Chain A
């Protein structure tokens, strides 16, 4: 019974490149959430998706960031033209339902922008 899978675990990009982070939710979970953790801070909500739908992206920066959760395949968090301030740990979580359910977190992707 695999947990939430994220890959890659570590990603290094140069300024201006694109970063793609993948998340496969737990089996049976149709709700996916992305959080970002900057150094010495807590996790900050970015976006909530269900299959083929973005439900809430209120935590996403207005530019360069996008997310999807296609009918088939993992959820993808995409960051275009990365800058040094994007360096952080990005965590994906999934739950079987949305409200008042424990969200199960993946191991995270640590993005480093040179």
Chain B
């Protein structure tokens, strides 16, 4: 039972354009969401998070949008850079818990 789903295994975007990575979840109890970036042979690196009391959080080129009614969140990267090429994981946790439930990841490739 995959509670956090990333339905696009891969995405290619031209440098300078916007990258949009999507994530859907099924557990309405989730109240905290995060995006991690992972390069090969490295551990995931935290990018940005959002609490369920917000619908948007922005940090530099990265913006996360949360649509609670649709149980959907997205990560926007603009402008995309070749160094953004990596696997992106979304993760979620429920109130009073510390466990992150991860999606299966989306491999982003930014073309120069």
Q: How far is the CA of A84 from the CA of B74 in the complex (A)?
A: 36
Q: B105 touching A107 by the CB < 8 A rule?
A: no
Q: B104 touching A108 by the CB < 8 A rule?
A: no
Give chain B residues whose Cβ lies under 8 Å from the Cβ of A44. 102
Q: 1/0 per residue A6-49: CB within 8 Å of B?
A: 10000000000000000000000001010100001111110010
Q: B99 touching A105 by the CB < 8 A rule?
A: no
Interface residues contributed by chain B, number (CB under 8 Å): 26
Give chain B residues whose Cβ lies under 8 Å from the Cβ of A59. 99
Q: B43 touching A42 by the CB < 8 A rule?
A: no
Least CB distance from B75 to A in Å reads 15
Q: How far is the CA of A78 from the CA of B41 in the complex (A)?
A: 21
Least CB distance from A109 to B in Å reads 10
Does A98 count as interface, using CB distance less than 8 angstroms?
A: yes
- Assuming the A-B contacts A42-B104, A100-B93, A102-B49, are A4 and B43 also in contact, with contact meaning beta carbons closer than 8 angstroms in the complex? yes
- Assuming the A-B contacts A104-B46, A105-B44, are A31 and B98 also in contact, with contact meaning beta carbons closer than 8 angstroms in the complex? yes
Least CB distance from B97 to A in Å reads 7
Does B111 count as interface, using CB distance less than 8 angstroms?
A: no
Least CB distance from B104 to A in Å reads 5
Q: B43 touching A108 by the CB < 8 A rule?
A: yes
Give chain A residues whose Cβ lies under 8 Å from the Cβ of B42. 107-108
Does B66 count as interface, using CB distance less than 8 angstroms?
A: no
Q: A43 touching B89 by the CB < 8 A rule?
A: yes
Interface positions of B (Cβ within 8 A of A): 4, 6, 32, 34, 36, 41-46, 49, 51, 89, 91, 93, 96-105
Q: Which 7 A-B pairs have the closest CB atoms?
A: A105-B43, A42-B102, A98-B98, A43-B102, A102-B46, A42-B104, A45-B99
